[in-house]
Amino acid sequence: MIRVVVVEDHQLVRQGIVKLLESAGDLSVVGEADNGVQAIELVTSLRPDVMVLDIVMPQFDGLETLLKLSEITPRPQVVMLSMHADPSMIRQALQSGAVGYVVKQSVADELLAAVRAAKNGSMFLSSGISGVIANNFFVESPKNLLDRLSPREREVVKRIVEGHSTREISDGLRTSIKTVEKQRRDAMRKLEVDNLASLVRVSLELGLVIGKTNRKKTGPL
């Protein structure tokens, strides 16, 4: 059972999210909060697996709360919620350690998959967000960083950003899961990142993946 804390300052929205999560069968909402201060207290006392965190709230907004969570061990995986696919907020959330970003208009379709992916440490972005990031944050980065990757490592990273699970990547490339996992680790080391959120961000910024890449459903890596 995946233990989840929901942090959302609008009561009706929060109740809807809780109902959606509880209906899944494999998720259990162990706590609710309407501000960042309460969120930190709940994490400390309940130690949930995943936090669903609204980005705009009183008493620490979502981004401030995300930074505070970095001081807690163990910290939950975080799926951010927002009304809009705001490029600056998306980038800040990923840089601060969020592994998921779901726009509220897509909650019914995407939140369950995002929480399940987060529990496994996998990245989940709402449909179209990859394109938003790429279009707004493409930078002239040293090409030798990309040159460090082998063609197969580039393909593995591309498929990760597109939302494919390790099993899907191994099937698609006709190789073993262990090989895909090794290529992912090697790519992360060469790109000098230590988590999937940073891998996605760097891949987009370097132009390795450009445009609308996310699929509607994303399985765990």
The domain segmentation of the chain, as residue ranges, is 2-126, 133-205
Expressed in angstroms, the distance from the first to the final Cα of the chain is: 18
> What is the rounded CA–CA span in Å between residue 6 and residue 30?
8
Task: Write out pLDDT tens, residues 39-52.
Answer: 999 999 999 999 99
Candidate CATH numbers 3.30.43.10, 1.10.10.10, 3.40.50.300, 3.30.70.260; the one for domain 133-205 = 1.10.10.10
Query: Does an H or E element contain 55, and which?
Result: none
Nearest to 133 by CA among 98, 181, 172: 98
Mean pLDDT value of segment 202-207: 78
Q: Which of these ranges, 60-64, 179-183, 208-212, has the smallest mean pLDDT?
A: 208-212
- How many residues can be counted in the chain? 221
Return the beta strands (E) in the chain as ranges.
Answer: 2-7, 27-33, 50-54, 77-82, 100-103, 124-125
Residue range 2-126 forms a domain whose CATH class is: alpha beta
The answer to whether 123 and 100 are in contact (CB under 8 A) is yes
